[in-house]
Structure 1
């Protein structure tokens, strides 16, 4: 008999979590203006708001933190981190930052200007915010199949190469670079194939444009290439990772995801002009070049985390747990972005709350209902996150409206996945009774979903 699957790690420290009553949760949610970002952590039973900075570090990472070099300039911890990044990516120039959006801020301060057009595959919230905040345009060139949540294809995060070429022809000198997000978070944690990355590189070469990877979940993307793309089954994750980055000129990284640290990020590039252009903004916004926004102990932990999370066993354990939750939702008939992605399950909210009009934000309404049901905090990736069109100021309803169940790395067990699935089933079973959603009482002009205040209708 074949042995059942088991995690590639064992638990040696725990953190208590506590249940609450429905009455308590209704009060807390109202006080939070129906925005789960405004809830206190102790008001949450299972926290799926993000997989960013919420993973459990290993014994090796904690040990590495104890010997962090906190020198202001030239810390050995920086060079350990740089060595690991160069090993994985081939990029010689590295600038540490305190997290991914800081990396974007530093690099885009040099690269993005008013009137520019930045084509890519479903820019995530901070990426789009940093582009549109500079009066530039984030142009989505994702394949159309990504919007068909029930369609099963292996690389749903791919760039539509025809759309990309039209963008490069139409906007020409207005395009400072092409950005590819690996994996594609906004499209449902969907991977990008190596073949597609090569196609992007070929077009970039044809039109003389550099390529930037938004690399928060690059290791998960490499995992899917290994198990889904022909010719990669026998290659290691590190080998696939290096081949991916050979097709790019640089990367921004939120290390809080695939680096499995609580805080950190970086820019890495093979282009000295990008490094020279960005390093002044690092000093201005983040800190000196050999620490950016990171402490030495955090750089040590990140170097080890990057090494651990580019091991197949670690990724396999993590992504199998996401697939386990997907299988439970299949049992209950709950629609989500198929196939299951690398870091989360993305429930198709308009297919669940069919009576809630889009103007009342179905995914946000489903987020609220799941919290009220069981104290589970998820996150809307949809019409609220999309912000308003910068020209018309109308809400953007042209994308997907998803409830994201982001699974922290090495934190929860399959028993927690069972609770999540049953709680969502309970909401699903009473979906026809949920006929009204929410409306906006106050919002920020950019990245509004973090701070928006809502009212129930």
Structure 2
């Protein structure tokens, strides 16, 4: 049962099939190019797309819009300290702004940065600063029952250090939950192992904490040491091992915009503050209005409440169950923010160089007006990754009827899967790490 009720509603509209087909063609078969008004159920991302609470909206009314020394910043600072254990923070307009601030300080030309698995903007920021992102996930089978499939493999980090030199690895990053690995969680035990490896190679240990609360819930449910602990206590524990965190407030701060860097070292704090001033704004607003700082401050506290987080994760699991009942192959168990569909298994006749995940993404829109996102060869060209379609549920926004419609849309795609053909890229930006945001495709002849 949902742990909330609706106080504001927004009408949504399903365009007819002819309109959807025309929309796809004009968008260059890239759903990022669709207008939001033409999307019936939007699962493109959970980043900033959720529904804020009445307490968040109330807090926004007291936003202090002072350029320097804002009271709203002080309230955010207190919230981050209480919930996440970081007193020193540098605000940013969103997660990728925070990545720019931190990685622009830490990474130089020729550096290597291991991660359990880099997501798109993280990878791009490392490349943009002259570094090389290296994925070091544990080896998992999508069918096994491993509880923490998002874990980092510490031995792969050690092997990288032996090969390139520890002095060339300034930072070790762990992303919780592991978005590129089907939103799978990371255990506290593994975070401790990552801390040890970072100490061994003298690297700054960074946690990408965008979905820290969802990760803490999985730890509570699956890691015996924490079965009696609160989600709030687990959240502080898992982050306590990090030297720095990168945070998108658009995820587990339950806000529509915002982010920040949290650090412990004073010299690193000063360096990130100065870079933040250059790229984001003064250190007490970071490119945000005071009201946005207030929304994050409240949202962080709400994110670690038991009723909210249980409802959040279990709704994702509910969508996963409906899809499996419809015969849709998914990465199991489901993660905290999205269901990931195995596009290669769903469309086995389409080779990965013709983007089976992107084909499935487009057909899902064609059949049901549902927008997901491809996380395979199109988003991560040349990477040895599964061909996935991510269905991201915005927080506190959709209900069971919407989930049923999604499953039914997949069934309609399945009925015509033998008729489908692949796609090819016809226009793309220079930086291939970001091509899926704006590239255009067309059906293979």
Q: TM range, normalised to the smaller chain?
A: over 0.9
1:72 lines up with 2:57 in the alignment:
no
Match for residue 335 of structure 1? 329
Structure-1 separation of matches of 2:133 and 2:221: 31
* SS at 2:20 equivalent: helix
Match for residue 84 of structure 2? 89
Q: Unaligned 5+ residue runs, structure 2?
A: none
- Aligned partners of 2:56 and 2:299 also within 8 Å: yes
Structure 1 residue corresponding to 2:289, chosen from 286, 289, 295: 295
- Aligned partners of 1:150 and 1:335 also within 8 Å: no
Match for residue 415 of structure 2? 429
- Aligned partners of 2:90 and 2:286 also within 8 Å: yes
Structure 2 residue corresponding to 1:270, chosen from 264, 268, 274: 264
Once the 2 structures are TM-superposed, how far is the Cα of residue 85 of structure 1 from its aligned partner? 0.5
Match for residue 155 of structure 1? 148
* SS at 2:268 equivalent: helix
Once the 2 structures are TM-superposed, how far is the Cα of residue 15 of structure 1 from its aligned partner? 0.4
* SS at 2:386 equivalent: coil
**Greater CA drift, 14-23 or 420-429:** 420-429
What are the equivalent positions in structure 2 for 1:197-236 lying under 5 Å apart?
Answer: 197-236=191-230
What are the equivalent positions in structure 2 for 1:95-134 lying under 5 Å apart?
Answer: 95-134=90-129
* SS at 2:276 equivalent: helix
- Aligned partners of 1:150 and 1:336 also within 8 Å: no
Structure 2 residue corresponding to 1:164, chosen from 142, 157, 164: 157
Query: Structure 1 segments of 4 or more deviating over 4 A?
Result: none
- Aligned partners of 1:149 and 1:348 also within 8 Å: no
Q: 1:9-43 deviations in whole A, cap 9, x for unaligned? A: 11111000011111100111111111101110110
Q: Unaligned 5+ residue runs, structure 1?
A: 1-5, 388-395
Structure-2 separation of matches of 1:207 and 1:448: 33
Structure-1 separation of matches of 2:162 and 2:199: 13
Q: 1:359-399 deviations in whole A, cap 9, x for unaligned? A: 11000000000000010011111111114xxxxxxxx1411
Once the 2 structures are TM-superposed, how far is the Cα of residue 240 of structure 1 from its aligned partner? 0.5
Once the 2 structures are TM-superposed, how far is the Cα of residue 445 of structure 1 from its aligned partner? 2.6
Once the 2 structures are TM-superposed, how far is the Cα of residue 69 of structure 1 from its aligned partner? 0.5
Structure-2 separation of matches of 1:219 and 1:230: 18
- Aligned partners of 1:354 and 1:432 also within 8 Å: no
Match for residue 439 of structure 1? 424
Match for residue 443 of structure 2? 456
Once the 2 structures are TM-superposed, how far is the Cα of residue 231 of structure 1 from its aligned partner? 1.8
- Aligned partners of 2:167 and 2:201 also within 8 Å: no
* SS at 1:144 equivalent: coil
Structure-2 separation of matches of 1:429 and 1:179: 42
Once the 2 structures are TM-superposed, how far is the Cα of residue 144 of structure 1 from its aligned partner? 1.4
Structure-2 separation of matches of 1:261 and 1:397: 32
- Aligned partners of 2:182 and 2:339 also within 8 Å: yes
Structure-2 separation of matches of 1:201 and 1:374: 45
Match for residue 55 of structure 2? 60
Structure-1 separation of matches of 2:152 and 2:257: 29
Structure-2 separation of matches of 1:416 and 1:152: 28
Cα distance change on mapping 1:262 and 1:72 into 2, 3 Å: same
Structure-2 separation of matches of 1:293 and 1:356: 44
1:144 lines up with 2:144 in the alignment:
no
- Aligned partners of 1:52 and 1:408 also within 8 Å: yes
Match for residue 277 of structure 2? 283
Structure-1 separation of matches of 2:158 and 2:360: 37
Once the 2 structures are TM-superposed, how far is the Cα of residue 194 of structure 1 from its aligned partner? 0.5
1:412 lines up with 2:361 in the alignment:
no
Structure-2 separation of matches of 1:11 and 1:108: 40
- Aligned partners of 2:247 and 2:259 also within 8 Å: yes
Q: Give the TM-score of the pair, scaled to structure 1.
A: 0.95
- Aligned partners of 1:183 and 1:191 also within 8 Å: yes
Match for residue 390 of structure 1? none
- Aligned partners of 2:170 and 2:202 also within 8 Å: no
**Greater CA drift, 205-214 or 299-308:** 205-214
Once the 2 structures are TM-superposed, how far is the Cα of residue 260 of structure 1 from its aligned partner? 0.9
Match for residue 393 of structure 1? none
Q: Give the TM-score of the pair, scaled to structure 2.
A: 0.98
Count matched residues.
441
Once the 2 structures are TM-superposed, how far is the Cα of residue 430 of structure 1 from its aligned partner? 2.6
Once the 2 structures are TM-superposed, how far is the Cα of residue 307 of structure 1 from its aligned partner? 0.3
1:46 lines up with 2:33 in the alignment:
no
- Aligned partners of 2:89 and 2:261 also within 8 Å: yes
Once the 2 structures are TM-superposed, how far is the Cα of residue 425 of structure 1 from its aligned partner? 1.7
